[in-house]
Amino acid sequence: MPLYSIKMRASKGDLHVSGAERIIPQADISSAVSALTERALHHGLGRADFINVKMEEVAPEKLQYLDALPVSKRPADTVEETYKIMKKMLCELGLEAKADALIDLLRHNHPIRGAVLYDVATNSRLEPDHERGIRVTYMDAEGAASNCSGKNHFREAIVLATKVVNAPGIIAELCLSDDPDYLVGYLASLKHGYVRLMPMKEMGNPHGGRVFIFDSTKAKAEDAINYLEKQRVLVRGLPVEKPANPNPEQIFADELKQLKEQNLYRSLRTMDSEQSKYIEMQGRKVLMLASNSYLDLAADTRVKQAAAEAALQWGAGSGGSRLTTGNTALHEALESKLAQFKGTEAALVFNTGYMANVGIISALCNSESVIFSDEYNHASIIDGARLSKARIVVYKHNDMQDLGAKILATPCSRGLIVSDAVFSMDGDIVDLPALVALGQKYHLLTMIDEAHATGVIGKTGHGTVEHFGNTVRPDILMGTLSKALGAEGGYACASKVIIEYLKNKARSFIFATSQTPATLAAALRAIEVLKEEPQRAQNLQHNVEFFLNALHAEGVEAYSPTAIIPIIIGDEKSALQVADELLANGVLAPAIRYPTVAKGTARLRVALMATHTEAELSQTAKLIGAAIRKYKK
């Protein structure tokens, strides 16, 4: 039976989107073409507007059969650690003097369609066309299934790598995928086999590259290029996909066991009282040093009374989504109050802060958009960006120079800059004036997440805009009702146009039963209390300054301009021991570990309240200092 080579190349304007190879029997042509076309139309880089499919017969005698490279993997905790591993392997190939330059070429070279052919003998690039690069074609796995529309990065990469390292004069291949959602790359050589390396970049980063390391003393460049671009190859002996586990739950049990061994297992604590500065837990009275109820409004009698009265008047639940039967006067009163409080034209409430971010971002952005996101942004922002199918560009934490450079390098007609206002694990504050200025300069929407800013910063607790003197305002102020305001829910404050758009496009708003009357009434009353008693926010800010000074007096390094004070311990085990020691002494300050924070930066995440006293904070600082001296390595 004759075999046919099918090559698909897809692009969107000048951007290469997808490419794939198949060598298959005639009977599979129809299904293969359909699958490859679907792949081009549903790609992380966007929907292709040009798809080219080329098909030609392959004579059996022109096929070369190669054994697949053996596969191994070298996972790391960080991107930089991954490249240290890659450098070590390059040194093992006798490339000590070239390793840094090769890695830099992989990570930072201007994107091209194919691969760089780098000659280590002359330190020069040998591709005839530097914009096109070297395109490896005519290859597949022996007996490959052709009816799968999803991309199997792993198997396709092994096929390509096997062909590359068998080409004349090739020492190794380095690969970094341009798929923004795929963080795994590899080094391949006859010495090492196919070594999977991860992570090679941050999630959402679309940069990719491929470098063929060549030695012109071993072969002619034209012979290598001719082999890579014209030799028909089938690769045999690829790793077999694992069969389905007859006990699917065992997979989860094994992962849970591993988490326990790594001191990363999480469990629930049961509180036996309302959330205030003291709580009842396991039959003990404990000082709460981890609550997001920064102003202690979750336990405020007036706020609780408003919730109780609303439940009696309006019922326990809302009965439907806002766009069907679940819209009440309470919803509209809260939105009016929020818009007034934040100084915007309109507002919209969501059931949670998480749902607000997911709904706002996925509604305002699409596959034509670019989202510029701070590397420390909350998970809800990250998930909203992924759901939008936009191109995601991650900039260095609160680094406006890096943000500006990445905006220049990624021109777009529709874009969003999004950042936490107060970062939830470090407590630092976004550089709002610079962020807004960049948005205005490059005609991008700007959005900040004020979950940990409202009630916490600003002279009267109004948040980030007030903190910066009411001189700048982003297009969207997102926030929560569940932290300083002590209730539950999320919101967006923006122009009337944006709010109306969200009502019609935000799926987490449209398809969710609306908030209960009790939570709405509690949030309404909490805003009123904050406006009536701005000294609550001022007390909180005083407590931050006092507690930091008390920690420093104990030799504990800590800094924060907000109520979130990270105390870095380092390794996960020590952080847990410090937290347990504090709990034994009547203070709840949980350890925060990977993956919430990077490995090696496990910490106590202290969250202060306006009602903490100086005596309580002074004693707590002493306990923290003693525990750290006892357990920190």
- Tens digit of pLDDT for each residue in 531-540? 999 999 999 9
Q: Confidence class of residue 117 from pLDDT cuts 50, 70 and 90? A: very high
- Name the amino acid, one letter, at 591: A
pLDDT of residue 594: 80
User: Are 611 and 274 within 8 A, CB to CB?
Assistant: no
Residues in the chain: 633
Whether 380 has a pLDDT exceeding 80, the answer reads yes
Q: Of 147, 7, 140, whose CA–CA distance to 63 is shortest? A: 140
Q: Confidence class of residue 151 from pLDDT cuts 50, 70 and 90? A: low
**Distance from C-alpha of 575 to C-alpha of 632, rounded to nearest angstrom:** 8
User: Are 57 and 24 within 8 A, CB to CB?
Assistant: no
Which has more confidence, 261 or 285? 285
Whether 206 has a pLDDT exceeding 50, the answer reads yes
Q: Pairing state of beta strands 3-12 and 15-25?
A: antiparallel
Residues annotated catalytic, as ranges? 424, 452, 483
Partnered with residue 211 across adjacent β-strands are 116, 174
**Distance from C-alpha of 584 to C-alpha of 579, rounded to nearest angstrom:** 9
User: Are 42 and 17 within 8 A, CB to CB?
Assistant: no
pLDDT of residue 150: 46
Which residue in this structure is represented by tokens 């932290």?
483
Instruction: Kindly state the helix (H) or strand (E) to which residue 67 belongs, with its residue range.
Output: strand 63-67
First to last CA, the chain: 67
Q: Which residues contact 549 (CB under 8 A, 6 or more apart)?
A: none
**Distance from C-alpha of 529 to C-alpha of 461, rounded to nearest angstrom:** 11
Q: Which residues contact 121 (CB under 8 A, 6 or more apart)?
A: 215, 216, 217
Q: Confidence class of residue 42 from pLDDT cuts 50, 70 and 90? A: confident
Whether 628 has a pLDDT exceeding 80, the answer reads yes
Instruction: Kindly state the helix (H) or strand (E) to which residue 564 belongs, with its residue range.
Output: strand 564-570
Whether 450 has a pLDDT exceeding 70, the answer reads yes
- Once rounded to an integer, what is the mean pLDDT over residues 357-386? 94
pTM: 0.73
| Region(s) of the chain under CATH 3.90.1150.10 | 266-296+534-631
- Once rounded to an integer, what is the mean pLDDT over residues 248-253? 89
Computed from CA positions of residues 504, 507, 511, 517, in that sequence, does the dihedral angle turn out positive or negative?
negative
- Tens digit of pLDDT for each residue in 561-599? 999 999 999 988 999 999 999 999 999 999 998 877 877
| Region(s) of the chain under CATH 3.40.640.10 | 318-515
Question: 44 vs 18, 122, 208, 214, 550, CA distance in Å?
Answer: 9, 37, 13, 31, 49
CATH hierarchy code of domain 266-296+534-631: 3.90.1150.10
pLDDT of residue 68: 95
User: Are 202 and 393 within 8 A, CB to CB?
Assistant: no
Whether 88 has a pLDDT exceeding 50, the answer reads yes
What is the share, in percent, of the chain residues with pLDDT greater than 70? Answer: 97
Whether 37 has a pLDDT exceeding 90, the answer reads no
pLDDT of residue 144: 65
**Distance from C-alpha of 387 to C-alpha of 384, rounded to nearest angstrom:** 5
Determine whether domain 318-515 maps to CATH 3.40.640.10.
Answer: yes
Q: How many CA atoms lie within 13 A of 187 on its CB side?
A: 28
Q: 472: helix, coil or strand?
A: coil
- In terms of phi and psi (left: phi > 0; alpha: psi -120 to 50; beta: otherwise), the region of 470 is left
Which has more confidence, 97 or 25? 97
- Tens digit of pLDDT for each residue in 282-335? 889 999 999 999 999 999 999 999 999 999 999 999 999 999 999 999 999 999
- Once rounded to an integer, what is the mean pLDDT over residues 399-426? 94
**Distance from C-alpha of 552 to C-alpha of 138, rounded to nearest angstrom:** 65
- Once rounded to an integer, what is the mean pLDDT over residues 90-117? 90
**Distance from C-alpha of 565 to C-alpha of 620, rounded to nearest angstrom:** 13
- Tens digit of pLDDT for each residue in 230-239? 999 999 998 8
- Tens digit of pLDDT for each residue in 412-424? 999 999 999 999 9
Q: Confidence class of residue 118 from pLDDT cuts 50, 70 and 90? A: very high
Whether 180 has a pLDDT exceeding 80, the answer reads no
What is the share, in percent, of the chain residues with pLDDT greater than 90? Answer: 70
